[in-house]
Amino acid sequence: MTTVTLPTVPPPPESLDGAGRRLPLPGRYTVAPGRSLTELTAWYGPLPVLRRRVTLGGAALTVPVDAERPSFRYEFDDRLLSGVLTSERVDEVHGGRLQLTGDLGLNGSAFPVLLRLRVVERADDRLLVVGHARLPYRLLRRATEFRLPWRRPATRLRLLVAAEFA
């Protein structure tokens, strides 16, 4: 029996700045037109019954200078989904991920949302994130009067967001 020893490769260094954060330098960043993707998928059990791209009217990321938490704002401007997702709290979780707790404002009502974002690329003046939120359709419909077409039964919704803040 032969023993083979393989060299160990150290993991690549994390892309952290001096403060240990996965965010760009302090300032206000927006998403340029055509540099984002937003998709709404309706699920009925294990089956997707509706998948639609949603127009992102605007998105902004504000990174404060002091120790305050950053804030995200997504504005959806579409016939199916028209509202604003604003963050109340942004936490950095393990593995280069951000967890955004906020409210989805639809039809004058606010619905709590947990949006999990993965930081794909970060530079001093740019941030590329991809994430999703899962929303229970029945509770969303009762709270905000959001409706899908009557021929599309759904039990839950998934909101997919990909954006490059620069």
pLDDT digits (tens, 9 = 90+) for 100-148: 999 999 888 899 999 999 999 989 999 999 999 999 999 999 998 889 9
Residue 119 lies in a domain: no
Residue 42 lies in a domain: yes
The tens digit of pLDDT for each residue in 35-74 reads: 899 999 999 999 999 999 998 889 999 999 886 788 999 9
Residue 142 lies in a domain: yes
| C-alpha to C-alpha distance for 2 and 142, rounded to whole angstroms | 66
Residue 121 lies in a domain: no
Residue 80 lies in a domain: yes
pLDDT at 165: 94
Q: Which of 67, 66, 162 is nearest to 121 (CA)?
A: 162
Residue 13 lies in a domain: no
Residue 126 lies in a domain: no
Residue 12 lies in a domain: no
Residue 76's domain comprises: 38-93+106-111+136-166
Residue type, 40: L
Q: Which of 22, 39, 12, 8 is nearest to 129 (CA)?
A: 22
> What does the DSSP assignment read for the chain?
----PPPP-PPPPP---TTS-SS-SSEEEEEEEEEEEEEEEEEETTEEEEEEE--EEEEEEEE-SSSPPPEEEEEEESSS-EEEEEEEEEEEETTTEEEEEEEEEETTEEEEEEEEEEEEEEETTEEEEEEEEEEEHHHHHHHH-----TT---SEEEEEEEEEE-
Domain count, the chain: 1
Residue pointed to by tokens 């009067």: 145
Q: What is the pTM of this model?
A: 0.81
Beta bridge partners of 63: 27
